[in-house]
Amino acid sequence: MERRKIGSLEVSVVGLGCNNFGWRVGKEATQAVVDAALDSGIDFLDTADMYGGGQSEEYLGDALGTRRNRIVLATKFGLSMGEGLSGGSPQYVRQAVEASLRRLKTDRIDLYQLHRPDPATPIADTLYALEKLVAAGKVREIGCSNFSAEQLRAAGGRFRSVQNELSLLHHGAEAEVLAECARSGIAFIPYFPLANGLLTGKYRKGQAMPDNSRGKDAWGPKLFTDHNLETVEALDAWAASRGHSLLELAISWLAAQRGVQSVIAGAKSPEQVKANASAAAWKMSGAELAEVAAIVTGY
């Protein structure tokens, strides 16, 4: 699999998002998904302390076992882990990293990310605390998530990555962030690359959704609109005319965007993670990207 850079780290162009672990996926299923990811050439695994209330990190640490050194391990902090346990204050940064190291059963985190901006803490204070962790060898690179271009500039280019939502159905809002990443050399890591499952091709206009589908979740009514479902059908037909699936289009399109270094997609089964791993093999041409742009913008 193609490999790209996040600071000093080298990662697979398709990564594994571990947000399902401890929530939709139990311990045994987590083991199966992680095994499939490593067997498929994925070596960039991204989680967060709050996923599954800490169980995502616990399950991932157990699943990796002695294979920890084979992968690039990323996690996030800052969202609530209980009363008084959130944010980016230096004191909490030190507390959060120790808790994540313990749950992940490792002595270092390769990419440690602030999950969202903390308006109560000056970004310089958070950065100072994070860079102290790097100097101590507990963290290799630092990143952020849900930051605007202005907030990235305020951080002075000291973050090596930013993880924001980006997909074929959610892209206009990130244009300025992508431009800032290209200008400053910050790696862009898209989350929700499959638009919460809408870009897998299993949802169709006029068809009922399964009870366990993401379309039933809180964000479903905003995402699973007639307009989006019609766009998905058009994208699916376009991809099929070129011998590809909608999933392959969704991931390959992201991999072709300037600044994107790894596309992290979640998976609940070995079959899903294997499909994600192979999806980025399509190297889209400029002409193909232009045709896709015409579909998603309606021109």
Helix (H, G, I), strand (E, B) or coil at 3: strand
**Length of the chain counted residue by residue:** 299
Angle ∠(20,23,29) on CA atoms, nearest 5: 65
φ, ψ of residue 171 to 5 degrees: the values are: -140, -30
| Token representation of residue 283 | 């190297």
Say how far residue 194 (Cα) sits from the centre of its chain.
11
CA dihedral 269, 78, 261, 61 (to 10 degrees): -40
| Radius of gyration of the chain, Cα coordinates, nearest whole angstrom | 19
**E strands of 57-152, at which residues?**
72-77, 109-114, 139-145
Fill in the amino acid letter for 88.
G
Distance CA 133, CA 126 (A): 11
170: buried, middle or exposed (CB in 10 Å: 19+, 13-18, 0-12)? middle
DSSP 241-293: TTT--HHHHHHHHHHTSTTB--EEEE-SSHHHHHHHHHHTT----HHHHHHHH
**Residue showing tokens 């990143």:** 143
φ, ψ of residue 162 to 5 degrees: the values are: -135, 135
- Catalytic residue ranges: 51
Fill in the amino acid letter for 30.
T
C-beta neighbour count of 241 within 10 angstroms: 8
